[in-house]
Amino acid sequence: MVDIVDAETRSRMMRNIRGKDTKPELLLRRGLHARGFRYRLHHKGLPGRPDLVFPKYRAAAFVHGCFWHRHPGCPKATTPATREDFWQNKFAENTARDRRNIDQLQEAGWRVLVVWECELARSSIGATVNRVSDWLVDCDTP
C-alpha cells in the first residue's frame, strides 16, 4: 500500500505525535483528580518516566497508546503495510523498553499499572478510572 502523503508531510505528521500530555493521559488524570487522587507527572528520577506517579501509594501508571506499545488483541495495534521491517523493529524496541522499565520499577518496590488508550474511550472511561482508583487503594495488588 502506497502512502497517501509525501515523505516530508509524513515526517512532519509523525514529529507532531506527543509523548506526554496526550488526550488519553489527560482523561485519566482528570478522572483520578476528581476522585481526590494527587500525583506527580513524568517523574524524571524513575525508570521510564511514568505518566502518573502516586508517591503516597508507591505506585506508578503508564498510559500507553495501543499502536505504539502494541496492545495485544487491540484493533488499534495495526502494522503499517510499508517498511514492515522498520516498523517491526520499532515496535519490538518499544515493547522491550516498556518491559525493562516496568521490571526496574517493580524491583525498586513500586507497583506498576499500564492503562491502554482504548480503555479510555468515551464508553469505558468511567469503568477504567474506577479500576485504577481501586488498584491504588488496594495496596495488596501488585
Query: How do the domains of the chain map onto residue ranges?
Result: 19-137
What share of the chain in percent tops pLDDT 70? 95
Largest CA distance in the chain: 52
pLDDT tier for residue 140 given thresholds of 50, 70 and 90: low
Q: Is the pLDDT of residue 36 over 90?
A: yes
pLDDT in tens, 74-132: 999 898 888 889 999 999 999 999 999 999 999 999 999 999 999 999 999 999 999 99
Whether the Cβ atoms of residue 105 and residue 5 lie closer than 8 Å to each other: no
Nearest C-alpha neighbor of 39 from the set 53, 25, 51, 50: 53
Query: Higher-confidence residue: 7 or 10?
Result: 7
What φ, ψ does residue 116 adopt, rounded to 5°? -90, 150
Burial of 64 (0-12, 13-18, 19+ CB in 10 A): buried
Query: Higher-confidence residue: 13 or 88?
Result: 88
Q: Give the 3-state secondary structure of residue 115.
A: strand
What superfamily does domain 19-137 belong to in CATH?
VSR Endonuclease (3.40.960.10)
Tell me how many degrees the CA angle 98-47-101 measures, rounded to the nearest 5: 25
